[in-house]
Amino acid sequence: MDIDTIRKKIKNGNYIIKSHVIQHALKEGFERRHIEEAIFRGKIIELYPDDQRLLICGKITMSVKSQIYLHVVCEHSDEEYLELITSYIPDEKIWSKPPYNRLKKKWRKK
């Protein structure tokens, strides 16, 4: 699925927000409008074809002086509805800056 198709589903209201999205939103302080903004302003950064899922990263405006990145995992197994599986503010210990790529783990010898 491409980003334009995803944006069309969001624009038309053809999406379902799963409970995990709500949990992160409450914990991390973002809202539904931020999730939509991330999708409209973002890009697909990872594909999970076995699960029919993908990860979008987009910059959102939290306040006049604050913009951050938000990750949104979408499932596209249903032809009509897009499922928003989870959304979160990416951890700087795991993601590059900007958070489009995962950092490689550094393994220490024991």
CATH number for the domain spanning 25: value is 3.30.2310
Tens of pLDDT, residues 69-106:
999 999 999 999 999 999 999 999 999 999 999 997 65
Residue 69 is predicted with a pLDDT of 97
Token look-up 């795991």 returns 94
102 in a domain, yes or no? no
In the chain, the number of structural domains is 1
- Residue listed under structure tokens 């969001």: 10
Q: Write down the residue that tokens 């999406």 correspond to.
A: 15
Residue 12 placed within a domain: yes
Establish if 107 belongs to a structural domain: no
Q: Would you state the structure tokens that stand for residue 63, as one six-digit string?
A: 């306040």
**Has residue 81 been placed in a domain?**
yes
User: What's the CA gap between 84 and 18, in Å, rounded?
Assistant: 6
Q: In the structure encoding, which two tokens stand for residue 19, read together?
A: 């409970």
pLDDT attached to residue 104: 75
- 37-68 confidence digits (pLDDT tens): 999 999 999 999 999 999 999 999 998 899 99
The parent domain of residue 73 ranges over 3-88
Query: Looking at the domain assignment, is residue 60 inside a domain?
Result: yes
Per-residue pLDDT, averaged over 22-32, amounts to 96
Buried b (16+ CB within 10 A) or exposed e, 1-20: beeeebbebbeeeebeeeee
37: closest CA among 91, 82, 87?
Answer: 87
